[in-house]
Amino acid sequence: MSMSIPGLNGGGSNAPNAAARCKARRGKLLDRTQLRQMIQQSPEQLASTVADKGYRNEIDMYSTRFSGSDLLEMALTHRLSRELNEVLGFCKGELLKQVGVYANRFSYFNTKVVLRAVENNVSAEELSHDILPEENEWNTNWLDIVKNSSSLNEVAIALGNKPWGRAISSLDTNATLANYEDALDKHYYKESIAALKGQNTANSLLRRYLHMEIDHNNIMKFFEGKRQGLSSDLIESLFLPEGKLITTGMLKNLSSMDENGIIEVLRKNSRFDISEFEKAVDESNKIESLDPIMMFLNKRTFHVLEKMSYLSPISALPVVHYLALMRQEVRDIRMIVRGLSVGLDKNLIDAHIGA
């Protein structure tokens, strides 16, 4: 998925208009009740429901080349791309810059997709039948890079004029795919936080949101590393700097703690619901899965973002909130489609949808 961000420095901000338009779009998103109803449907009913919920044009576009769950997944991904570009298209001036900070993450993600394809000898044609369908005009440049690159370094060179390309341009020839992906993550947050200068409310709240994402990333990396038995040094290398719950200076010590240690660190912050987090950790240990922790953090992310959008209703926050909710809707429908197609328990699917 990719997007263009024209005219970053041109014109004044149009936050009132953009916020109102995104509020109207947000009202059309599926709620949890509607999603739960979809879980109970047959594959044929599900396809009809998805079409009726605003995805019909995309389903029609891909229907000649895909069918079943593959068709729905292609349609969902395309719709998210279109929505991102349409929203960026009606944002102007400083608002466009602020929303672009959030939207850029999709280009960083696509860079990872391209790097993985080149590393694993996946052709552009194969990729065009999967995660980057050629019907999506925003995928053209990404597919061309896969077609013309035979190494990770060549991908970095091809993207050299983009921020996500500069993130990996200085890596040496011996760098691994993991090194490239780590560099992309760190660069995205460093550049994004730096772009949100000034003390106006929207910039301050967006910086806080990014710091929260860093904290949540580091919490997940901690538990992943510990459950996999990784060394403290390796766990430390997985962390992102610039968190607030867990500051950069605390990361080295954190990597050598056990699970009780991180709980005690987080307990010191009054904004973090430690009692619910402890329940998630206990459930995670009980079922031997990190899903409860991931779901707790995901819900916390949306709770904080929703609160921020209400604190600053005529700003970039309602726009970012809408894009995040749209992204979550696509993830939820994809989870339902995939889950039903492989026969997953419906209660399990239900537990994994909704923010």
Task: Give the three-state DSSP class for 44.
Answer: helix
DSSP code, position 196: S
> What Å distances lie between residue 154 and 109, 157, 169, 176, CA to CA?
17, 5, 10, 14
Q: What is the pLDDT of residue 76?
A: 94
For residue 282, the Cα-to-chain-centroid distance in whole angstroms is: 26
pTM, to two decimals? 0.92
Q: What is the pLDDT of residue 355?
A: 54
Q: What is the pLDDT of residue 9?
A: 38
Alpha-carbon span 141 to 137, nearest angstrom? 9
Asked if residue 5 has pLDDT above 70, the reply is: no
Contact 149, 127 (CB under 8 A): no
Alpha-carbon span 348 to 355, nearest angstrom? 15
Portion of the chain with pLDDT greater than 70, in percent: 97
Contact 198, 132 (CB under 8 A): no
Closest by CA to 318, choosing from 335, 301, 306, is 306
State mean pLDDT over 195-218: 95
Single-letter amino acid code for the residue at 295: M
SS percent in the chain: helix, strand, coil, step 5 = 70, 0, 30
Q: What is the pLDDT of residues 114-172, one digit of tens each?
A: 999 999 999 999 999 888 999 999 999 999 999 999 999 999 999 999 999 999 999 99
Q: Calculate ∠ Cα 235-175-214, nearest 5°.
A: 40
Q: What is the pLDDT of residues 275-296, one digit of tens each?
A: 999 999 999 999 999 999 999 9
In the chain, where the domains are located: 200-312
Q: What is the pLDDT of residues 59-79, one digit of tens each?
A: 999 999 999 999 999 999 999
